Amino acid sequence: MITTKGLTKVYQSRGREVTALDGVDLHVREGEVFGVIGQSGAGKSSLIRCVNLLERPTAGTVTVDGADLTALAGRGRRPGKDLRAARSRIGMVFQHFNLLSSRTVRDNVELPLEILGLSGAERTRRALELLDLVGLADKAKSYPAQLSGGQKQRVGIARALAGNPKVLLSDEATSALDPETTRSILQLLRDLNQQLGLTVLLITHEMDVVKTVCDSAALMEKGKIVETGTLTDLLATPGSRLARELFPVTGDASGPESTVIDVTFHGETATQPVISQLSRTYNIDISILGAAMDTVGGRQVGRMRIELPGRYEDNVVPVGFLREQGLQVDVVPAAPGAEPAPVTEALVKEAAK
């Protein structure tokens, strides 16, 4: 539904060049919720602004729903008719809502419909329908200042849906909201995704957002996508940084003469029999260092960190046994600090500011 190829954006700022996007190949499938996560300055906003051509890419192409937007953009400074039409099929939700304070809620939602040239009666009908969809039917006559943050964002979402878009872009739509409201807005995005078959591309710096609503995710770093895939595939990718943070397990080895492994299992499979079978079959003592169950992308996933006696070379057979049972096994590097720093560490600090 959204494809970028070699997308590059270089800003000229005070005689210096800043490469915000460095050859991004993104692929968002129809009907999925796709999350892009990364540290501040990674290029996330530049990416989303290039996807709807609010920002003109320096190089590369953007295709949305089969239309090559970069070709439609032409060379002029102002967007032409074709680009405007294609863009009306892409809704955009902003972090700070961007509502007009002098207009009522209904009038804010009507604004894009005015631009699309709908008659007054049609606009009103459609606006009320959209407000109902986002759960704000009773607030049509209120002004933005009379609404809570979450309600303002619902208006922002209703407005974004005005042109019947197939694609919704969201840049940090929940980062100005408290956790409870964040959950309700994420639920709304999920519902819209399912009810309307809307494809959603969202930018966030919170792993929890990815975990709650996304089907797929990409990690951005210095203008590049360094990891991407469905959450299920990422969790099944050994060494995936996104997976490690989507679903962290911790626990340290008790000494140098042991092997620590992370075992990941999907679905409701009970691991206990597998672990006890392993113990019986090879007559080894197994310590459980950490374990957790969680729902990631709507699926139950479990992770367990266990310790086997002996070095890795001594445990090739038991590890093979676990893999044969269909479990994913990642060997945890022995030296403390061998694991790379978490990608969201800086983001957590950023959010706390």
Ligand X SMILES: Nc1ncnc2c1ncn2[C@@H]1O[C@H](COP(=O)(O)OP(=O)(O)OP(=O)(O)O)[C@@H](O)[C@H]1O
The tokens of 148 are what? Answer: 């809570």
Q: List the single partner that 60 binds among ligand X, Mg ion, none, CB under 5 to 8 Å by kind.
A: none
Contact code string over 171-210 relative to ligand X, x by CB under 6 A: ----------------------------------x-----
How many of the other CB atoms lie within 10 Å of CB of 265? 20
Residue 258 CB, shortest distance to ligand X, in Å, is 40
Say how far residue 295 (Cα) sits from the centre of its chain.
15
Coil, strand or helix: which one is 251?
A: coil
Nearest residue to 22 via CA among 12, 30, 13, 11: 11
The label of the residue with tokens 């009522």 reads 104
Pairing status of strand 299-309 against strand 287-296: antiparallel
Which member of 45, 108, 151, 174 binds ligand X (CB under 6 A)?
Answer: 45
All residues at 6 or more sequence positions from 241 whose CB lies less than 8 Å from its CB, including other chains = 219, 226, 227, 340, 342, 343
All residues at 6 or more sequence positions from 229 whose CB lies less than 8 Å from its CB, including other chains = 216, 217, 237, 240
Residue ranges binding Mg ion (CB under 5 A): 45
Q: Is 54 in the site for ligand X (CB under 6 A)?
A: no
Which CB, 95 or 230, lies closer to ligand X? 95
Q: Identify which range of 33-41, 155-163, 177-185, 322-330 contacts ligand X by CB under 6 A.
A: 33-41
Q: Identify which range of 38-46, 139-147, 259-267, 313-321 contacts ligand X by CB under 6 A.
A: 38-46
Amino acid letter, 132: D
Q: Is 42 in the site for ligand X (CB under 6 A)?
A: yes
Which member of 1, 2, 20, 186 binds ligand X (CB under 6 A)?
Answer: 20
Q: Is 4 in the site for ligand X (CB under 6 A)?
A: no
Kind plus residue range of the DSSP H or E element containing 289: strand 287-296
Q: How far is residue 238's CA from residue 343's CA, in Å, rounded to a whole number?
A: 16
Are the beta carbons of 94 and 156 closer than 8 angstroms? yes
Q: List the single partner that 4 binds among ligand X, Mg ion, none, CB under 5 to 8 Å by kind.
A: none
Q: List the single partner that 11 binds among ligand X, Mg ion, none, CB under 5 to 8 Å by kind.
A: ligand X
The tokens of 53 are what? Answer: 């051509």
DSSP class of 332: P
Which CB, 27 or 96, lies closer to Mg ion? 96
# chain residues binding ligand X, by CB under 6 A? 13
Q: Identify which range of 12-20, 147-155, 245-253, 254-262 contacts ligand X by CB under 6 A.
A: 12-20
Q: Identify which range of 37-45, 66-74, 81-89, 277-285 contacts ligand X by CB under 6 A.
A: 37-45
Which member of 31, 41, 229, 248 binds ligand X (CB under 6 A)?
Answer: 41
The residues that touch ligand X, with contacts defined as CB under 6 A, are 11, 13, 18, 20, 38, 40-46, 205
